[in-house]
Amino acid sequence: MLTGAVRLVDRSGGADKLVARCPKDQFSPTRFVLEQLAVRDVVACMTLGRRPSIIKQPFEPWFFEIERHSAREVEWESVERQFGG
């Protein structure tokens, strides 16, 4: 399942290109799905001994930029909330 999702992200131009089209001032289902896939991809890589496919470089800008745009008190959709950060 994850492999198919990674291929879909690649065929769509990559996560950074997909996120560039997302609104920055409201919840984005696209960003949410990409963040979730990226976290799962990283965890899978830890067990499989390979490099992540969605986050291609350390500190990928698209993954960390959400901090600048989400200043709300409750962010139920964020990766941090989902994974206990």
**pLDDT digits over 6-27, tens only?**
889 999 999 999 999 888 777 7
What is the C-alpha to C-alpha distance for residues 38 and 43, in angstroms, rounded to an integer?
A: 9
pTM above 0.75, yes or no: no
CA 32 → CA 1, 8, 42, 70, 85, distances in Å?
17, 15, 16, 13, 16
Domains of the chain, by residue range, sit at: 2-82
Q: Note the pLDDT tens digit of each residue in 18-77.
A: 999 888 777 788 888 898 888 888 888 888 888 888 988 888 888 887 666 555 565 555
